Amino acid sequence: MDARWWAVVVLAALPSLGAGGENPEAPPESWTQLWFFRFLVNAAGYASFMVPGYLLVQYFRRKNYLETGRGLCFPLVKTCVFGNEPKATDEVPLAPRPEPTETSPTWQALKLLFCAAGLQVSYLTWGVLQERVMTRSYGATATSPGERFSDSQFLVLMNRVLALIVAGLYCILCKQPRHGAPMYRYSFASLSNVLSSWCQYEALKFVSFPTQVLAKASKVIPVMLMGKLVSRRSYEHWEYLTAGLISIGVSMFLLSSGPEPHSSPATTLSGLILLSGYIAFDSFTSNWQDALFAYKMSSVQMMFGVNLFSCLFTVGSLLEQGALLEGIRFMGRYGEFAAHTLLLSICSACGQLFIFYTIGQFGAAVFTIIMTLRQAFAILLSCLLYGHTVTVVGGLGVAVVFAALLLRVYARGRLKQRGKKAVPVESSVQKV
């Protein structure tokens, strides 16, 4: 199990996890509107595609269709079930990342500024819109409270459709390596990616956005804990110091924020479970994608394959529930919601491209610094725009967390310069 899962255990020990939600979800009118029921219905919809697909894959493999098959369907079956070339092994090494052709410091600085600005604008806008869509009403007037959109799965579909289009156009316009992975293998990452995104959207109905961000930022604590207990790994003094600072900062933020008037143990528990689901599914997605990269694909090809199956799953599930047309009608009734959904999807797709480009040009350490700063700015924006109450002590706690994260990046860079083996950089890529 990925150690990020245990980040939730750390937060569970703190009583104010659900604090800060200004507009928690109204009590459901029936049990069919409970998030847990909706989750099961969605999962059943995905299973209606996954199970038959899995049985077909096993059938073609047992039949040795790659050797005996022929006809019009053979190329399609080969691509989906067997792939077009063998998995990358030691005798087929991946090509090294090419060195940048431009060495001018000014040009490098401009590229770094471009990457930082692109990541900040994409994901800060994405975070603001995500909270707006999930926690506020549309069409409110002096006499009407308006209507709140509650179908997180529809939002996931909108994000994935645009990401699929962007990735497809990129693959067409830019030269890509020959694709060799069996297409069906993307379905597992797609399923976990859809479920993690759904949990992330749903969690905003019960916990504040700043709480979500800090939960993701503090995952270094369980990573070190599990490394020490399970792998008997040793750590440097600065790693213990920064982990202690992170735990102190998170505690300062959560314990200094008093409960909101509308918060309750039920909403706190729901938010905790959904946040747990997000971390668990996101961890599986990352690990599965790491395994898929053993096939010699590009990051954009990975983006296309995962989003292709994500669109199939979500469209099928929404059609089975009769919810696809309702989501479209909601967009028709409220043009503001349609604009927010479109911009949310654009930011999600463009942000992924900026991630690939930044890591390719400057490496994971620079990317981690940019995304750490982005998380801090996201908390600040959320508090300013949506009125989350943060005390002076809570603000200092947030500052301590991100200062500790930046200190970890700096210390790891110094170790690398000295030729020492540093622990792996914790992934900071946010799946959207």
Number of domains making up the chain: 1
Separation between Cα atoms, residue 4 and residue 226, nearest integer Å: 10
Q: What domain range is 302 assigned to? A: 31-87+117-137+149-418
Residue 12 lies in a domain: no
Using an 8 Å Cβ cutoff, are 131 and 213 in contact? no
Q: What are phi and psi of 147, to 5 degrees?
A: -130, 135
Q: Which conformational region is residue 71 in: left (phi greater than 0), alpha (psi within -120 to 50 degrees), or beta?
A: left
Burial 369-406 (b: 16+ CB within 10 A, else e): bbbbbbbbbbbebbbeebebebeeebbbbbebbbbbbb
Residue 100 lies in a domain: no
pLDDT digits (tens, 9 = 90+) for 24-76: 454 555 666 789 999 999 999 999 999 999 999 898 888 888 777 777 788 88
Residue 18 lies in a domain: no
Using an 8 Å Cβ cutoff, are 192 and 284 in contact? yes
Largest CA distance in the chain: 71
Residue 412 lies in a domain: yes
Residue 20 lies in a domain: no
Q: pTM, whole model, 2 decimals? A: 0.80
pLDDT, tens digit only, all 432 positions of the chain: 444 444 443 333 333 333 333 454 545 556 667 899 999 999 999 999 999 999 998 988 888 887 777 777 888 888 888 887 555 444 444 444 445 455 678 888 899 999 999 999 999 999 999 999 999 999 988 888 889 999 999 999 999 999 999 999 999 999 889 888 999 999 999 999 999 999 999 999 888 888 888 877 766 665 666 566 655 777 788 888 887 888 788 778 777 765 554 555 556 788 888 988 887 888 788 778 888 888 888 999 999 999 999 999 999 999 999 999 999 999 999 999 999 999 999 999 999 999 999 988 888 778 878 888 888 888 888 888 888 877 888 888 888 888 888 888 888 777 777 765 444 444 444 445
Separation between Cα atoms, residue 65 and residue 224, nearest integer Å: 46
Task: Provide the 3-class DSSP secondary structure of residue 64.
Answer: coil
Residue 340 lies in a domain: yes
- The residues, ordered by sequence, that sit 6+ positions from 91 with a Cβ below 8 Å of its Cβ are none
Residue 430 lies in a domain: no
Separation between Cα atoms, residue 111 and residue 357, nearest integer Å: 10
- The residues, ordered by sequence, that sit 6+ positions from 164 with a Cβ below 8 Å of its Cβ are 304, 307, 308, 310, 311
Separation between Cα atoms, residue 243 and residue 403, nearest integer Å: 11
Residue 380 lies in a domain: yes
